[in-house]
């Protein structure tokens, strides 16, 4: 059975060293005790996931370099009300600025504006343009989706059925990534299914799983059963846990050699799947830089300095087994990731 949000296997020791204050289960981590006159800043993610451990490593490095105390929080699940409770608690701890990966921008922007009136607010990973935030630190998710769409075209060059997975359609990044995939396959802007050029979008919709890897696993198995006999299938997982869940489902169904898989982010099972030739490739963001730059910006803002505000998105990388022009070989990427985390 697919296990939800597993810790990095080979990287666990490195993460433990980089994140000494990371408590299991509650998503809480503080760097320092708020003493010594250092300003305190905070980062709140949208959910608990291994992806954020890399971000936290970058944030802690930034806190040490830029002279601030850091509060880093991961809500227990992807839910607006749960995240709001975490944000409300953090903003009462004397912080001088906050970075938030917004779960549902349309619903949260009014509350975020109230925070922005009291302290510097930036968004990270998932933007909320109308929130009063000073800048966004993260990926251009539409362009990242287009890169994933290009991998689909390489993996399934003659066309076929494409299944797109995200945890939830509420976050803007999920919708933007999916649209990028569809536009690349269709060769036109704002493409709609079910026909996307020589590709067909399964169910004419994006498959969601309430941000639960086990749900993704079960849905993937069910869809594989429904598509038996179709030898031109590509399943695209646009959240970090999707590709590992899809791969586990394919293994249980004995279909790893028949179904193409394209992933997103650097889950260790995704990287292993690429090494084994069971996942075609993945689009990786740069969560370490997300954390590092967010703390750098908040530290500067705490001193009245706006010169560090970001104007451009953080670039993504395309990781495949063999690499090539515009791509990174998976072995090289993984080695560099371990180096970044200090292993």
Q: Given a cut of 80, is residue 236 above it in pLDDT?
A: yes
Residue 276 and residue 149 share a domain:
yes
Residue 145 and residue 86 share a domain:
no
SS3 192: coil
Residue 167 and residue 192 share a domain:
yes
Q: Given a cut of 60, is residue 323 above it in pLDDT?
A: yes
Residues 263, 242 contacting (CB under 8 angstroms) = yes
Per-residue pLDDT of 160-173, as tens digits, reads: 999 999 999 988 88
Per-residue pLDDT of 224-234, as tens digits, reads: 999 999 999 99
Helix (H) or strand (E) holding 88: helix 80-90
327's torsion region: left (phi>0), alpha (psi -120 to 50) or beta? Answer: beta
CA separation (Å) from 227 to 11, 224, 230, 331? Answer: 36, 5, 6, 33
Q: What is the reported pTM?
A: 0.82
Closest CA to 92 of 66, 63, 71, 113: 71
Q: What is the CATH number of the domain that holds 53?
A: 3.40.50.2300
Residue 89 and residue 35 share a domain:
yes
Residue 308 and residue 264 share a domain:
no
In a domain, 202, yes or no: yes
CA separation (Å) from 243 to 11, 164, 174, 195, 337? Answer: 19, 11, 15, 23, 19
pLDDT at 31: 55
Q: Given a cut of 80, is residue 147 above it in pLDDT?
A: yes
Per-residue pLDDT of 89-118, as tens digits, reads: 999 999 999 999 998 999 999 999 999 999
Q: Given a cut of 60, is residue 2 above it in pLDDT?
A: no
Residues 234, 262 contacting (CB under 8 angstroms) = yes
Name the CA radius of gyration of the chain, rounded. Answer: 20
In a domain, 205, yes or no: yes
Residue 280 and residue 152 share a domain:
yes
What's the number of domains the chain is made of? 2
In a domain, 119, yes or no: yes
Residues 67, 40 contacting (CB under 8 angstroms) = no
Place 338 in a pLDDT band, splitting at 50, 70 and 90. Answer: confident
In a domain, 4, yes or no: no
pLDDT at 225: 97
Residue 116 and residue 178 share a domain:
no
Per-residue pLDDT of 241-283, as tens digits, reads: 999 999 999 999 999 999 999 999 999 999 999 999 999 999 9
Residue 164 and residue 131 share a domain:
no
Residue 164 and residue 110 share a domain:
no
Residue 273 and residue 150 share a domain:
yes
CA 61 to chain centre: 20
The parent domain of residue 304 ranges over: 12-138+286-312
Mean pLDDT for the stretch of residues 198-210: 97
Q: Given a cut of 70, is residue 32 above it in pLDDT?
A: no
In a domain, 2, yes or no: no
pLDDT at 96: 98
In a domain, 324, yes or no: no
Average confidence score pLDDT of the chain = 90
Residue 276 and residue 159 share a domain:
yes
CA distance linking residue 244 with residue 220, whole number of Å = 11
Q: Given a cut of 70, is residue 38 above it in pLDDT?
A: yes
SS3 297: helix
Residue 305 and residue 214 share a domain:
no
CA distance linking residue 291 with residue 22, whole number of Å = 15
């Amino acid at each position: 059975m697919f296990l939800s949000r597993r810790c990095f296997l080979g990287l666990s020791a490195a993460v433990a060293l980089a994140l000494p204050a990371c408590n299991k289960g509650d998503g809480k981590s503080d760097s320092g005790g708020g003493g010594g006159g250092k300003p305190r800043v905070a980062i709140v993610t949208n959910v608990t996931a291994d992806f954020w451990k890399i971000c936290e490593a970058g944030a802690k490095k930034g806190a040490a370099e830029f002279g601030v105390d850091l509060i880093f929080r991961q809500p227990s699940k992807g839910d607006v009300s749960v995240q709001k409770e975490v944000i409300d608690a953090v903003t009462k701890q004397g912080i001088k600025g906050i970075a938030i990966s917004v779960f549902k921008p349309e619903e949260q922007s009014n509350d975020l504006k109230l925070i922005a009136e009291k302290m510097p607010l930036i968004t990270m990973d998932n933007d909320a343009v109308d929130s009063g935030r000073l800048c966004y630190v993260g990926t251009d998710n539409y362009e990242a989706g287009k890169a994933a769409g290009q991998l689909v075209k390489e993996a399934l060059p003659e066309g076929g059925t494409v299944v797109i997975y995200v945890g939830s359609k509420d976050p803007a990044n999920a919708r933007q990534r999916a649209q990028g995939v569809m536009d690349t396959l269709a060769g036109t802007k704002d493409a709609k299914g079910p026909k996307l050029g020589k590709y067909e979008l399964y169910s004419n919709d994006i498959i969601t799983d309430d941000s639960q890897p086990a749900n993704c696993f079960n849905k993937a198995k069910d869809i594989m059963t429904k598509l038996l006999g179709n030898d031109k299938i590509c399943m695209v997982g646009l959240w970090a846990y999707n590709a590992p869940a899809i791969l586990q489902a394919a293994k249980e169904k004995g279909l790893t050699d028949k179904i193409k898989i394209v992933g997103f982010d650097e889950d260790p099972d995704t990287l292993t799947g690429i090494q084994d030739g069971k996942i075609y490739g993945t689009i990786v963001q740069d969560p370490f830089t997300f954390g590092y730059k967010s703390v750098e910006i908040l530290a500067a803002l705490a001193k009245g300095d706006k010169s560090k505000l970001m104007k451009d998105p953080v670039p993504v990388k395309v990781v495949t087994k063999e690499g090539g022009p515009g791509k990174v070989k998976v072995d090289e990427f993984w080695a560099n990731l371990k180096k970044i985390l200090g292993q």
